[in-house]
Amino acid sequence: MNRLARTGWLSVPGFAPGPEPVRAAALLVLIAAAACESSPSPTNGADVVPVSQPCTSYGGGAPGALSGLLAYYRPGGYPLLISQGGDEQSTATLFETWEWRCGWQHATGPDPQLWGYAMADDPPVHMTILVGRKTWGWNGSSWQDLQITPPGNVGSTPMVYDAARQVLVLVDSFPNGVNTWTFDGRTWTKVSTSGPANDEGAALAYDPRSKTVVMFGGTSSNFGGGGNQTTWSWDGARWRLLDPQTSPPEGPAVMAFDDDTQQMILVTWDTASWDWTGANWRQLNISTPIYDTSAKLVYDSVRQQLFYWASGSVWTYAGTWVRLPTGG
C-alpha cells in the first residue's frame, strides 16, 4: 500500500459514487478541506494520522538513559518516551516525558512522578496508556489519571495493542503465576492464567497478517532461571505455543511489526535482527543497533519506519538500520 492510501487520502469517508464531474469536484473540495485542517486533537474522536515533514536537522534534549518506556502517540504522530534518570528506589528519581520531533523535545505537560511498568498506544481511546500503580493516559498535552484500577502487577511487563480485538493486551508473570489482561478503555480484565511462563524482557507485538499477538523470549521472573527461546501467539482466547524450525537465541528482546516492509522485526540481546515470517524465524544479514535493558522498539506510522531507542541512542529501520543524531 502506498503512502497516500495509508494516510487515508485515497479513501475519503462519505464520498459516494456519482457522475464523474460531480465526483471529481466533490473530491477536490474534500481534499482541500482536509489539507487545511490541523492535526486532530486527541479528544475529538479523530483517528487520522498527521502528515509529517521530513527532518532537515536534528536537535533537542537528552533523556535520562538508565531506563524508560517507549510507545507511539498516534494522534500527534510521534514516539513518546518516559525516561528515568536514576534508580527507581531513589527519592531523587526524575521521570520525564519526551516527544520525538526530529530530536527529543521535553513535553510541555507536567511529568508523572511515578514508576510505570508498561506503556502502549491505544487508538480507540486516542491516548497512549501508561500502567503503574494507576492507569494513566497521555492526551497530547498532559497525563490524565483515568481513575481505572490497573492490574496488581509488579515488574517489567510487555503490553501491546491488539487491533483485531481493539484492546490492549498485557502479559505478566512476575513474581508468580501467568496472567494475561486486556484493557478496553474502561476496565482491565484478566482473560487467561496460562500461557508463557516467564516474560521479564520478553518481546511482544501484534501481527496483522495472522491477527494475533506474538510473544518471544524473555528471562525467568524469579531471577534464578535462564532465558526463554519460545514463540507464542495469542488469538484473543488462548495462547498457542508455536514450533518454528529456527529460533533466535534465548533471552530478552524487543519486537515490532513494520507496516512499510511488512516484516515482524525482532532485535535480540546479542545484537542481531530477525524477521518472523509467520511460521519461522529468519536472521537478517544486516548491521544491528546494540541492545541493552533500556531497549524499546515501536512503529512510527507517520514516517513509515521502525523507531528504536536504547541507552540514549535513536535508530530507524526501513530495510536497514540508520542511527539518527539525537542532539542534547
Predicted confidence at residue 267, as pLDDT, reads 97
Same domain, 107 and 27: no
Same domain, 141 and 264: yes
Closest CA to 148 of 190, 191, 187: 187
Say what percent of the chain tops pLDDT 90.
Answer: 50
Exposed, middle or buried: residue 65 (CB in 10 Å: 0-12, 13-18, 19+)? middle
Same domain, 287 and 246: yes
Count structural domains, the chain.
2
Same domain, 147 and 31: no
Q: What is the CATH number of the domain that holds 283?
A: 2.130.10.10
Tens-binned pLDDT, residue by residue, of the chain (328 aa): 433 333 333 333 333 344 444 344 443 333 333 333 333 333 434 455 566 666 777 887 778 666 788 999 999 999 999 887 654 444 455 788 999 998 999 888 777 666 678 999 999 999 999 998 889 999 999 999 999 999 876 566 789 999 999 999 998 866 666 789 999 999 999 999 888 876 678 899 999 999 999 999 887 655 455 678 899 999 999 999 999 999 999 888 999 999 999 999 999 999 999 999 999 999 999 999 999 888 999 999 999 999 999 878 899 999 999 999 876 5
Asked whether residue 48 is domain-assigned, the answer is no
Predicted confidence at residue 201, as pLDDT, reads 84
Same domain, 30 and 146: no
Same domain, 27 and 148: no
Q: How would you classify the pairing of strands 203-207 and 188-192?
A: unpaired
By the 8 A CB rule, do 137 and 147 touch? no
Asked whether residue 60 is domain-assigned, the answer is no
Domain span holding position 263: 67-324
Predicted confidence at residue 16, as pLDDT, reads 39
Asked whether residue 44 is domain-assigned, the answer is no
Same domain, 25 and 109: no
Spell out the residues 6+ positions from residue 152 whose beta carbon is closer than 8 angstroms to its own.
none
Asked whether residue 45 is domain-assigned, the answer is no
Asked whether residue 43 is domain-assigned, the answer is no
Predicted confidence at residue 35, as pLDDT, reads 35
At residue 41, φ and ψ (nearest 5 deg) are -75, 155
Question: Cis ω on the peptide bond leading into residue 175 (within 30° of 0)?
Answer: yes
Same domain, 23 and 157: no
Same domain, 220 and 83: yes
Predicted confidence at residue 53, as pLDDT, reads 66
Same domain, 31 and 130: no
Asked whether residue 305 is domain-assigned, the answer is yes
CA dist., res. 256 & res. 242, Å (int): 18
Asked whether residue 53 is domain-assigned, the answer is no
Same domain, 268 and 150: yes
Residue 265 grid cell? 522485526
Residue 62 grid cell? 537528552
- DSSP 8-state class, residue 286: S
Same domain, 186 and 290: yes
Asked whether residue 131 is domain-assigned, the answer is yes
Residue 171 grid cell? 502479559
